[in-house]
């Protein structure tokens, strides 16, 4: 199954933010999730859970709520962590200089057939292995 846009962890985290200064980003993140045509990876869902429930987070979610959100996001195609994604991440890191974890996100987006990777944390407008990185908050 192929989808057009892959969501990075920060999109999911903004969708639950209660910080007043992030209200515009929260609204945009929710809009993206409601539009559909999105893909995720197991890594993104894992990162979301860890960050959303971390004790030092001002608006930390309880386990049940974080797990429930992850369950709702399983309506999207989810790329497994597998050997092909690992090998792709290693190649992307070596070729493009991203961190391993960002490389794994790009590799997962590519494996799902996504043309766009929506992320606030990577280089807006950069194309990597056929995937264009876009910051949806610009």
pLDDT tens digits for 41-86? Answer: 999 999 999 999 999 998 999 999 999 999 999 999 999 999 999 9
Phi, psi of 99 (to 5 degrees): -65, 160
Q: How many CB atoms lie within 10 A of CB 55?
A: 5
Paired tokens of 109: 């987006």
Query: What is the predicted pLDDT for the residue at 123?
Result: 85
Q: Which of 10-19, 43-52, 121-130 has the lowest average pLDDT?
A: 121-130
Query: What is the predicted pLDDT for the residue at 36?
Result: 82
Q: Which DSSP category does 82 fall into?
A: -
Quote the percentage of the chain above a pLDDT of 70.
98
Query: What is the predicted pLDDT for the residue at 79?
Result: 97
Q: Which of 25, 34, 39 has its CA nearest to residue 117?
A: 39
Q: What is the C-alpha separation between 16 and 47, in angstroms, rounded?
A: 14
Query: What is the predicted pLDDT for the residue at 1?
Result: 47
**Residue that the structure tokens 């846009």 belong to:** 5
Give the chain's mean pLDDT: 95
Q: Which of 124, 128, 112 has its CA nearest to residue 38?
A: 112
Query: What is the predicted pLDDT for the residue at 34?
Result: 94
**Residue that the structure tokens 């929260």 belong to:** 26
- Domains located in the chain, CATH noted: 5-134 (3.40.50.1010)
pLDDT above 80 for 2: no
- pTM for this prediction: 0.93
Q: What is the pLDDT of residues 95-107, one digit of tens each?
A: 999 999 999 999 9
Q: What is the pLDDT of residues 75-86, one digit of tens each?
A: 999 999 999 999
Q: Which DSSP category does 21 fall into?
A: G
* Longest pairwise C-alpha distance within the chain: 41
Paired tokens of 99: 């961190």
Judged by DSSP in three states, 119 sits in: coil
């Amino acid at each position: 199954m192929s989808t057009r846009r892959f969501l990075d962890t920060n999109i999911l985290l903004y969708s639950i933010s209660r910080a007043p200064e992030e209200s515009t980003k929260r609204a945009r993140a929710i809009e993206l999730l409601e539009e559909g045509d999105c893909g995720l990876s197991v890594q993104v869902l894992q990162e979301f859970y860890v960050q959303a429930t971390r004790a030092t987070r001002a608006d930390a979610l309880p386990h049940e709520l974080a797990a429930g959100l992850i369950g709702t996001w399983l309506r999207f195609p989810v790329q497994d962590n597998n050997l092909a994604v690992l090998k792709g991440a290693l190649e992307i890191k070596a070729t493009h200089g991203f961190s391993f974890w960002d490389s794994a996100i790009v590799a997962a987006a590519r494996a799902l057939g996504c043309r766009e990777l929506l992320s606030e944390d990577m280089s807006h407008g950069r194309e990597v292995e056929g995937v264009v990185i876009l910051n949806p908050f610009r």
